[in-house]
Every structure is written in structure tokens, then in C-alpha cells.
Amino acid sequence: MFERLKAIFSRPTQVDVTPRQQQQEPPHHHNIFNLPPGWKPIDSVIKSVRIPGTSLELGSAARVVETDQDERLDFDKLHGILAGCSHFIYSIEQIGGKCFVCELESIELLKQNLITLSQAEERSLYCTQCASYCMACFKRVCATHTKLFLCPNGIYIPLCWPCHEHATRSFLDKLIAFIKGCIK
């Protein structure tokens, strides 16, 4: 029975991922830099910020155009990323950090040619809402890769998956040894 419990808790988890397709804008939406005939650009402002340590950029583009009916239209377009925590990030202030577990998963998917380098970099980032850390190794991780571990004194502590797995195994090993000692 104890071997069965140990086998259940030592099973590796597998992440199923489908490759992301590049999203195209619907044909009835105008790109702010690809204007219909007769429209005149009046003013354009582009702001771009590179995320340190990556090849990713965040930014915005704004443009004022005049239509062929002499109307003035303002177009604003935000350029963000979809982080590994499934939240969109549009500014540097919204980035919570880089999860080392997400980064390892992204590298594996990149090696299998399932995602591009920029997608791998996006998947390794998390937003400030999903920021967490491991109380054992003190690494910063996303909320997805944080598990609560119940200590023997009844306190829950956040641990990353590798530390949680190690703590669970050592706790189970001690429990099995204790029960085997009681049975003898």
C-alpha cells in the first residue's frame, strides 16, 4: 500500500500544449498604418519599451488621420504580450518576474519546435498579480507553479514544485518509516 502511495506522489506531470497561431486582424478592421485610399495621416506617435533580458517589446501606437469626408479619427493600438500566467501585459510595471519552472517548460517546448523563441520568452514571464515565491529555496515563481505545503505544526507555506515534491517525499518517507516501526 505504501509503495502504491509513493508511486502516486512520484509521478511526473506532463503539460499538454498546442502551438499558438499568429492572429490576424479581421479584414473589416483597419490597421492604423495601412489606411484606405483618400485618408491622410496627420500625426503619429509610437512608444516602445524593450523588456530587459528578453527580445520582447511592449508599446503603443497612436495616429490621427483625416478621412475623405474631412472627419478626424484617432486610432490607438497597444502592443502587449500574453504571459505564462495567461494574463496580458502592456507595461513594464505589470511584469512580476520570470518563473524558473515556466522557463524550463518553455525551453523544452522550444527544443521540440512547438513554439518560437519569443513565445518561450513570453511564457516564462508572469504578471504582478500572479507573483509568488518559494519559502524553501526563495526563488521567485508564478502562482501556477506554487503549491501550499502543510507543515507538521499546521502552517501552510508556499513552495515551488520541485521543493514541494521533495518535501512531500521526505514527509512520506518519514511517515512510512514511522508506520513500519509501529507495526513491528
Over residues 26-85, the pLDDT tens digits come to 444 456 778 888 888 888 888 999 998 888 999 988 889 998 888 998 888 888 999 998
Question: How does pLDDT run across 106-162, given as a tens digit for each residue?
Answer: 999 999 999 999 999 999 999 999 999 888 888 999 998 999 988 878 888 899 888
Instruction: Delimit the domains of the chain by residue range.
Output: 79-160
pTM equals 0.64
Q: Are 157 and 149 contacting, i.e. CB atoms less than 8 angstroms apart?
A: yes
Question: How does pLDDT run across 113-124, given as a tens digit for each residue?
Answer: 999 999 999 999
Alpha carbons 120 and 103: distance in angstroms, whole number = 7
